[in-house]
């Protein structure tokens, strides 16, 4: 039948096989842990880019709104100082620009 030496060799080979499987599993786990932060970071960078684009759009809208407000104030001051029809036309033009801005703003 089987001798003690044959059983001993079989057990050693079996343990060696188990050790190889565990080693391969650990190497795969290490690779996944090493790779995961890069993928997470890329996702985070894309989210930050999206937020940055949204912020840039909002800032541009605020700048345009601020320019229109200043033009309106300037037209009011000129009308108050001079009081002529040319300044009244400026007031009407600025009013139209502000109305268009408010209508077209999304």
pLDDT value, residue 14: 92
DSSP state letters, 25-59: HHHHHHHHHHHHHHHHHHHHHHHHHHHHHHHHHHH
pLDDT of the chain, 106 residues: tens digit per residue: 668 788 898 889 999 999 999 999 999 999 888 877 777 788 899 999 999 999 999 999 899 889 888 888 888 887 777 777 777 778 888 888 888 888 887 5
pTM here is 0.52
pLDDT given at position 48: 95
């Amino acid at each position: 039948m089987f001798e003690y030496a044959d059983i001993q060799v079989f057990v050693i080979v079996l343990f060696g096989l188990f050790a190889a499987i565990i080693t391969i599993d650990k190497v795969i786990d290490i690779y996944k842990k090493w790779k995961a932060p890069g993928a997470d970071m890329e996702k985070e960078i894309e989210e930050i880019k999206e937020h940055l684009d949204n912020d840039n759009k909002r800032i541009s809208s605020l700048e345009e709104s601020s320019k229109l407000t200043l033009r309106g104030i300037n037209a009011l001051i000129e009308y108050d100082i001079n009081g002529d029809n040319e300044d009244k036309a400026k007031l009407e033009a600025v009013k139209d620009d502000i109305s268009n801005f408010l209508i077209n703003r999304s």
